Amino acid sequence: EDQVTQSPEALRLQEGESSSLNCSYTVSGLRGLFWYRQDPGKGPEFLFTLYSAGEEKEKERLKATLTKKESFLHITAPKPEDSATYLCAVQAGNTDKLIFGTGTRLQVFP
């Protein structure tokens, strides 16, 4: 069964304290791995898509990487406005449906 697991569930960082979020997946035939940011009470906001192992993408303080079993979202020198829940999702097989993890709730304190 296709599965996505994110860790940690919650992460508290001091402003400027870099860290990484993990998304491990077990799927048959990965077609794409997606990272979203979700603020409280809002819909997920698209961040990145990764398609193959070794691929990396960056956006401001965020960098996403992909291996054959997991993806990392690296946050460099985070700011309080980076506080949100970060969701990982995969597409697998010949379907475009997304399978989501439960997310990592990030809090960045000044």
Contact residues toward another protein (CB under 8 A) are 31-32, 34, 36, 41-46, 49, 51, 87, 89, 91, 94-98, 100-103
Nearest distance from C-beta of residue 23 to another protein, angstroms: 12
3 vs 20 by CB, closer to another protein: 3
| Both tokens assigned to 104 | 């990592």
Nearest distance from C-beta of residue 34 to another protein, angstroms: 7
Beta-bridge mates of residue 24? 5, 70
Asked if 83 contacts 108 with a C-beta cutoff of 8 angstroms, the reply is yes
CA nearest to 87, candidates 34, 12, 18, 26: 34
33 vs 108 by CB, closer to another protein: 33
Nearest distance from C-beta of residue 60 to another protein, angstroms: 16
How many other C-beta atoms are found inside a 10 Å radius of the C-beta of residue 82? 18
Nearest distance from C-beta of residue 110 to another protein, angstroms: 25
Distance of CA 51 to the CA centre of its chain: 14
